[in-house]
Chain A
Amino acid sequence: MTTTWADLVGTALLGTDRRGSTPEELLDSAALAVVRRRAGARPATAGARPATTPHDPRPPLPEAARRRLSLLLADRSVGGGGGSRRGAAPNLAELLPQWLAVANARGWAAPPELLPALLDAARARTDLRPDALALAGPRGLWLAELNSDWRFALRAGAPGVVPDTGDPGAVRTLWEEGLFAERVALLSRLRARDPRQALELLRSGWAAERAEDRLMFLDSLREGLSPQDEPFLEQALTDRSRNVRATAAELLSALPGSALAARMAARARTCVAWDPGGGRIGAEAPYECDAAMERDGVVAIPPAGRGERAWWFGQVVDAAPLVTWRERFGGRTPEEIIALPVADDWQADLHAAWCRAAVRQGDAAWARALLGPTPAPATAVSPVGDPAKLLSILPAPERAEWVARFIAAHGLSEAFQMLAVCAVPWAEPLGAAAVDALDIARDAGSYPWSFSGVMGLAERCMDPAEADRAAPLAAVPAESADTSPGAGAYWAEAFQRLVGTLRLRAAMLAELA
């Protein structure tokens, strides 16, 4: 009689006394059976194998860059966020976005073994997703198919997920059946490639979309906006949703040749005129906001604390094409127009509206004129409008020079927004100005954490080649009577971090070359 393993277990459970055997017999048989079973184990039958990854033609990262990526990703889990004081060590998590962007620009493929960490990082930080997923490439998507934690990668509109925009059938299917995010991604990709086809797609089911979706879709027309979009936008001026109407009006006013822009120009001309007797610009705010104005996007009810006529005035002027004023003021240049005196107290309103118009219409000449020469150090800082927004329309080198002059004159306390719109890496005069201004702030007895925002920007955005400029400042100075206690050491640490981060970025970039 053969004894099965189940028999042995049964005997063991009940006890050998009840089964008429002895413990020794049972244990001997069990030992034999266990070893026999373990030694004779057969292979299991393989389950369904995953598909194989598509070929990735990109070359693998150089070894040093691979190691760097692994450290940047590891830092995320160790320090990320961290306490208030970072010490002199570079903040690696802040460098990850830059690293990813450069690696993608240079066409490297991510090392397979780092893909799980890369996908985890992208899962935690949405700002990283586009670049992280691009670097992860087809193998990253292959992994995401297998692990539900990484499903976001399949929805994020990563390359390869959104069908080739050249395939009308696939585009149509995704547009009709896709999730909202997929549809937005599809629309913006299509818009970048073929604005007209994107518009057609949008038109196809427009009336049936939800209001908030219509708003998002309409917003995607900012990219590649052209006169061809006008009929559709004009139609959207009658939309059920007020926000959609306002966006349509805003887009139309950014098209100087549009009918809406012409209507606004006509209204603006009745408000602003040359007063030859006074030798100045005369302003006359609208007396009412009629239905036609509302249809063109003028908001009738002013925010609390603002007079309604001045409110309407601002909206009419900022939606009028800026060319209107050249005609109106005898062919003068923007600089000359801005220099003209304005009657009563309308100058601030008028100039602020022109600023908004310059930003909306992307008019560099007007932006330059409105920013003006950098205010002198003695004068109070009172730039009209939002200088950061005006700066963002200027060409990058000009932007950097203006901000550099501004910082040289006024220091850093109001420069953060302006620095943030400057192109990375900062062009030469800007980095020098920022370092000098920090040096001055130190000598003035400030503490470095008052400038932590600017410091952080400088670490991420300064040209790495300028590390040597800041290096002398990284030494701990002797304390003198007129500095704040301990500030010297903190400043030295902050500059050490700046220099360290710049050197690290230089190394990072070199590794990715």
Chain B
Amino acid sequence: MSDATGANGPTEPTGTDEGGGADGRRVRVVLVDDHRMFRTGVQAEIGRTDVTGVEVVGEAADVDQAVTVITTTRPEVVLLDVHLPGGGGVEVLRRCAPLMSDAERPVRFLALSVSDAAEDVIGVIRGGARGYVTKTITGTDLVDSIFRVQDGDAVFSPRLAGFVLDAFASTDAAPVDEDLDRLTQREREVLRLIARGYAYKEIAKQLFISVKTVESHVSAVLRKLQLSNRHELTRWATARRLV
């Protein structure tokens, strides 16, 4: 495992205000991944509930299993591999859509992948995942991201931020819907800093705003990503932008 910075950068040793069961929070998680070794590794890293506050309540190795396990255990967060036998992570999201929009206890998804293919990643986000991190993420950062997703926030890894900036790149095509098809200047700044490896706290300091505001910008970007009907979003990856 390399120490790739995840969505939230390394947590500073000066004590964190979230992550880990320090404040007594608990989160129920299901692992969906077709690699048993990877599931075991994640389980070992984050599954010590008394330390991390994460309780792994189920595992699944393919789409059908995943849907069954998620429906029966009703976890709060699902760690979802993008590539799965039986239709991939996107298929799981499609079949669990009603659970995601449940008003009482929504099930939230965090995509996890080794994939570098932009369309796969953008695909799961558009399918309803609340974030995307690479599998090289450290255990601490992963726990952190899980709690973020449980709070309803979005989790962007630097790579995802790069993909999104590319997807929303200024093209000549007129946006169908001004509000959805464009990123605001502020959102773009936040995404750039994420892509540059800044943690949310550092972004907040840099832009003189609160961490909450950073989170709301990221959530807004996520919403745009999911709702925008810019046709580039589905096709953009096929032709890299050579300016």
- Is B truly associated with A? no
Chain A contacts to B: CB under 8 angstroms: none
Chain B contacts to A: CB under 8 angstroms: none
